[in-house]
Chains A and B, each alone.
Chain A
Amino acid sequence: MIHLNTVSKIFNAGAKNAFCALDAVSFEIKQGEVVLLKGASGSGKSTLLSLIAGLGKPTHGEIVVGGKHISKLPDHFAALFRRSSIGFIFQKFNLIPTLSVFENIIVPLIPSNIPEKELCSRANSLMHRFGIAEKRETLIKHLSGGEQQRVVICRALINNPRILLCDEPTANLDATLSYEFVQMMQTLKTEGKTIVIATHDSLFFDLPLIDRSIELSKGKQI
């Protein structure tokens, strides 16, 4: 499903402050697998996830996701691919603070221009499922961290993607909420989604949910 071949990412390549965030990382993740991406802060986990999602381009190497060379895809198609196949749960949530919960959740659907009925039913069922239905019209900036994260999950799932990328999902959550998150991932796994969780939270380390872990240290795979 996800295939990385000697992927390197150098920020500000060629400049004085050039920084190698990823160095020749190669691995493969199969469909339906839940993979843990471990590593200390600054080891390059977020960078790796955004490369998989096509948000940036690797300096070297190639990334194949769902049969598509995402690292070589023009921007136009990368966006389309992202929309249809990838749900991204950002570390900093990246919600639009002045929009309501509902409006944030449907943002990925807007360019597809689907009928309003379908759009609403999809959003509503997700909101029910993740328990934020009663906050439908609340603005994001008025939500707590845990609620915001549910919104992010809903937004990531609204296009029914095959792959879910989670960047430090529990960083802003307390123990109970973190546990809830693990439960949610469990159900998503049973639905057959491929999940990559980047974290340094030890909570995840010995969970039965996790099929495999990949560890990064200073951009290198160990």
Chain B
Amino acid sequence: MKTQSITFIALFLGLILTLSLQMFTLNQQFADHQSIKRTFVLFSGLPDLSIANEALFVRFRSYADTFSLFSNGPELLEYAPSTFTYHPAYTPNPSRIERAH
């Protein structure tokens, strides 16, 4: 009965060890990513990520205004699935559409 518990505890510790090892290696692996990414943004000067790039107001959403989006169809305002991270830049005088949000 005791050996069973010990086996389990060993397995459990093994899991913890695996996780720490994984965290460690990933940390190492990704450690040098940030500086090169910054260099790129410094170089390009363009905002946002290229994970969705079908139109100007999606790819460089921070540069787009509410209306360019709106002129292509009001429903695009919630430009699923990227709305969660892309949004027209904040304006001090929000439009009616923006106020609605």
A interface vs B, CB < 8 Å?
103, 116
Of the four ranges (under 10, 10 to 19, 20 to 34, 35 or more), the interface on chain B belongs to under 10
3 CB-based A-B contacts, threshold 8 Å? A103-B1, A116-B1, A116-B2
Question: Nearest chain B CB to A119's CB is how many angstroms away?
Answer: 9
Q: In whole angstroms, what is the CA distance A103 to B1 when docked?
A: 9
Interface of A is mostly: helix
Q: In whole angstroms, what is the CA distance A116 to B1 when docked?
A: 9
Question: Nearest chain B CB to A19's CB is how many angstroms away?
Answer: 43
A110 (CB) vs chain B CBs: closest residue: B1
Q: In whole angstroms, what is the CA distance A116 to B2 when docked?
A: 8
B2 (CB) vs chain A CBs: closest residue: A116
Q: In whole angstroms, what is the CA distance A150 to B84 when docked?
A: 68
Contacts of B1 in A (CB 8 A): 103, 116
Question: Nearest chain B CB to A23's CB is how many angstroms away?
Answer: 46
Contacts of B2 in A (CB 8 A): 116
Question: Nearest chain A CB to B96's CB is how many angstroms away?
Answer: 66
Q: In whole angstroms, what is the CA distance A156 to B43 when docked?
A: 81
Q: In whole angstroms, what is the CA distance A148 to B94 when docked?
A: 81
Question: Nearest chain B CB to A160's CB is how many angstroms away?
Answer: 21
Question: Nearest chain A CB to B6's CB is how many angstroms away?
Answer: 12
Per-residue interface assignment for chain B, residues 1 to 24, with 1 indicating a CB less than 8 Å from any chain A CB and 0 otherwise: 110000000000000000000000
Question: Nearest chain A CB to B4's CB is how many angstroms away?
Answer: 11
Question: Nearest chain A CB to B1's CB is how many angstroms away?
Answer: 7
Question: Nearest chain B CB to A82's CB is how many angstroms away?
Answer: 23
Q: List which B1-54 residues lie within 8 A (CB) of chain A.
A: 1-2
Q: In whole angstroms, what is the CA distance A56 to B58 when docked?
A: 70
Question: Nearest chain B CB to A184's CB is how many angstroms away?
Answer: 27
What 3 A-B pairs come out closest when comparing CB atoms? A116-B2, A116-B1, A103-B1
Contacts of A103 in B (CB 8 A): 1
Q: In whole angstroms, what is the CA distance A177 to B40 when docked?
A: 88
A120 (CB) vs chain B CBs: closest residue: B1
A106 (CB) vs chain B CBs: closest residue: B1
Contacts of A116 in B (CB 8 A): 1-2
Q: In whole angstroms, what is the CA distance A16 to B1 when docked?
A: 49
